[in-house]
């Protein structure tokens, strides 16, 4: 009888896994053309994204093209229903008007728990509110802004030095250089430690490899319903590799926490966070090593890959639009003329004002509009609701939105919405639009608190580089995105021509 009971359990589990989710209806929503009975979009996602290595952005854009930019819904194994939205009014509803009715959801949190833990990007409710309040307090400090600006300015010079070393001999691949640049800067900004990835330090290179490996492999979990079993039993090479990289990263993060001197006066994210929780008795639990690991790793990931992605997209688009590149170069020349030398690091007061280097900032923001570093985002509905676009969402539905689709909506951005035009930021037209129409930095109550520092870093790097070189894409360059959490290119090979 035992085998009968075993088979019964297996059958019950299979029926549970294949149960149908409640359909999403209303508005302009359509069902994904490749959504199958019982398994929904799981097979298509595995075929294209997991096996074919197609980035999420490209996957969604293909479906939007088939359906006239209409939102679409699909099921998945386990009774999950997903709807991908394109209307900025729905983004506002989820992030502000009905904020309490949407959460990260169990799937998102479970998939990313090994990486993000209980950090701000992976929690809801009380934990999120506490960390948000602490982070808001931190980012309001001028000491933090001045510290990160000093880090960005000095490391931009190191970045320029590395480009100069490579540019003399051949084309330069900016992708790994930008990744190392943002890796070094976030280590200094967060922990006060300079790992020298830009200068080829092997330990820093190994740690970067583990971060990249984690973000590439963990994405697969969103498409593979059996990943928990594979992770628990270490059945696949991907999960074994992921586990090894997580252990390596944890060892480094805990090591940096243990090496912290505790003085609290450096202006680093770690010092400011510890100071904030010391002042708040209710947040004392965050001083525990595991909580600190989660919190700092969330900051770390936010400050590394997104800015590297944005810099790469900006350089790419400026190479394709040389007239705008020339305007940035003229602006850079003017900024460094005031400093007396292109070898002089930029400081906070040199670029913090929006009127300082407005063209460089406009190009950076426009590149993010057309190449959002985080292409998609999602929340899970905790109750039945109807979105402003008319889409009827059952409880438990995962509501995602494609940032590119929202940020190139002709109804909001005009008939030239897909055209690279930094001028829209200089006239004030783009700046007048809400963050729900430009959700690259998230929106509403979850608007990225580090937005201004990311823009600051982008401006400093762009001005430092365009004061020295004119960039052209390598003759055989092809824009090939790769599958990871953020929008990344396979390479960004350019010619750096001295001015």
Give the C-alpha separation, 282 to 30, whole Å.
47
Instruction: Provide φ and ψ at 145, rounded to 5°.
Output: -60, -40
Give the C-alpha separation, 45 to 51, whole Å.
9
Query: Could you tell me the two tokens for 297?
Result: 């790793």
Going by C-alpha positions, the residue among 382, 106, 61, 124 that lies closest to residue 222 is 106
- Tokens 């007048």, residue located: 432
Q: Where in 307-441 does DSSP place strands (E)?
A: 376-381, 385-386, 392-393, 398-402
Helix (H, G, I), strand (E, B) or coil at 109: helix
Give the C-alpha separation, 114 to 30, whole Å.
34
Output the pLDDT for position 16.
39
Output the pLDDT for position 7.
41
Output the pLDDT for position 79.
57
Going by C-alpha positions, the residue among 152, 225, 164 that lies closest to residue 189 is 152
- Classify residue 267 as left (phi > 0), alpha (psi -120 to 50) or beta: left
Interacting residues of 253 by C-beta distance below 8 A, sequence separation 6+: 293, 296, 297, 300
The alpha carbon torsion through 91, 361, 464, 303 (nearest 10 deg) reads: -20
- Tokens 């998945």, residue located: 76
Is beta strand 376-381 parallel, antiparallel or unpaired with respect to 102-103? Answer: antiparallel
Query: Could you tell me the two tokens for 461?
Result: 């790097």
First to last CA, the chain: 82
Helix (H, G, I), strand (E, B) or coil at 413: helix
Give the C-alpha separation, 457 to 256, whole Å.
23
Give the C-alpha separation, 442 to 451, whole Å.
10
Q: What is the CA radius of gyration of the chain?
A: 23
Output the pLDDT for position 14.
40
Return the exposure string of 278-304: e unless at least 16 CB atoms fall within 10 Å of the residue's CB, then b: eeeeebeebeeeebbbbbbbbbbbbbb
Output the pLDDT for position 228.
87
Output the pLDDT for position 87.
93
Interacting residues of 488 by C-beta distance below 8 A, sequence separation 6+: 175, 305, 308, 309, 312, 481, 482
| C-alpha angle 344-452-348 in degrees, rounded to nearest 5 | 25
Q: Tens digit of pLDDT per residue, the chain (499 long)?
A: 444 443 443 344 343 344 445 667 666 677 766 666 656 666 776 677 667 667 666 777 777 777 777 787 776 655 578 888 989 999 999 999 999 999 988 888 898 999 999 999 999 999 899 889 988 888 888 888 888 899 999 999 999 999 999 987 789 999 999 999 999 999 898 888 878 899 988 988 999 999 989 988 888 888 777 888 888 999 899 999 999 999 999 999 998 888 876 666 678 888 888 888 776 655 566 778 898 999 888 988 888 889 999 999 999 999 999 999 999 999 999 999 999 999 999 999 898 887 889 999 999 999 999 999 988 888 999 999 999 999 999 998 989 898 998 999 999 999 999 999 999 999 988 999 999 999 999 999 999 999 999 999 999 999 999 999 999 999 999 988 886 778 888 899 999 999 8
Give the C-alpha separation, 436 to 343, whole Å.
39
Interacting residues of 194 by C-beta distance below 8 A, sequence separation 6+: 184, 187, 188
Output the pLDDT for position 383.
93
Q: How many CB atoms lie within 10 A of CB 20?
A: 11
Alpha helices (H) in 391-442, listed in sequence order: 403-407, 410-413, 423-426
């Amino acid at each position: 009888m035992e085998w009968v009971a075993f088979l019964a359990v297996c059958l019950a589990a299979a029926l549970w896994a294949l149960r149908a989710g409640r359909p999403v209806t209303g508005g302009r929503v359509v069902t994904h053309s490749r959504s199958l009975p019982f398994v929904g979009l799981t097979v298509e996602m595995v075929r294209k994204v997991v096996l074919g290595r197609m980035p999420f952005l490209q996957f969604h854009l293909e479906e939007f093209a088939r359906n006239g930019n209409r939102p679409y819904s699909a099921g998945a194994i386990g009774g999950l229903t997903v709807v991908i939205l394109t209307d900025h009014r729905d983004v506002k509803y989820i992030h502000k008007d009905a904020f309490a009715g949407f959460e990260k959801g169990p799937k998102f949190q479970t998939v990313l728990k090994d990486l993000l833990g209980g950090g701000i990007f992976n929690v809801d409710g009380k934990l999120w509110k506490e960390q948000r309040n602490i982070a808001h307090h931190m980012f309001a400090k001028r000491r933090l802004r001045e510290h990160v600006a000093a880090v960005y300015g000095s490391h931009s010079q190191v970045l320029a030095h590395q480009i100069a070393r490579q540019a003399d001999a051949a084309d330069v691949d900016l992708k790994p250089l930008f990744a190392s640049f943002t890796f070094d800067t976030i280590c200094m900004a967060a922990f006060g430690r300079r790992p020298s990835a830009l200068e080829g330090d092997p330990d820093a290179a190994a740690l970067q490899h583990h971060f990249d490996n984690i973000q590439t492999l963990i994405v697969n979990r969103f498409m593979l319903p059996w990943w928990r079993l594979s992770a628990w039993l270490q059945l696949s090479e991907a999960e074994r590799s992921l586990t090894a990289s997580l252990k390596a990263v944890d060892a480094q993060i805990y090591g940096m926490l243990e090496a912290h001197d505790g003085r609290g006066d450096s202006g680093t994210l770690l010092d400011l966070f510890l100071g904030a929780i010391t002042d708040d008795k209710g947040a004392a639990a965050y001083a525990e090593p595991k909580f600190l690991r989660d919190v700092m790793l969330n900051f770390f990931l936010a400050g590394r890959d997104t800015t590297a992605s944005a810099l790469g997209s900006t350089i790419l688009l400026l190479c394709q639009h040389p007239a705008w590149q020339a305007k940035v170069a003229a602006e850079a020349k003017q900024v460094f003329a005031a400093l007396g030398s292109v070898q002089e690091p930029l400081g906070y007061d040199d670029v913090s004002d929006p009127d300082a280097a407005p063209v460089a900032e406009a190009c950076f923001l426009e590149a993010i509009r057309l190449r959002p570093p985080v292409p998609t985002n999602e929340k899970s509905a905790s109750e039945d609701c109807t979105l402003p676009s008319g889409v009827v969402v059952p409880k438990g539905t995962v509501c995602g939105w494609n940032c590119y689709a929202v940020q190139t909506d002709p109804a909001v951005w005009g008939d030239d919405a897909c055209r690279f035009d930094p001028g829209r930021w200089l006239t004030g037209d783009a700046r007048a639009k809400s963050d729900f129409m430009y959700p690259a930095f998230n929106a509403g109550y979850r608007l990225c608190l580090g937005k201004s520092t990311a823009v600051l870093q982008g401006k400093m790097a762009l001005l430092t580089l365009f004061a020295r070189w004119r960039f052209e894409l390598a003759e055989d360059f092809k824009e090939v995105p790769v599958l990871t959490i953020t929008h990344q290119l396979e390479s960004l090979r350019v010619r750096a021509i001295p001015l």
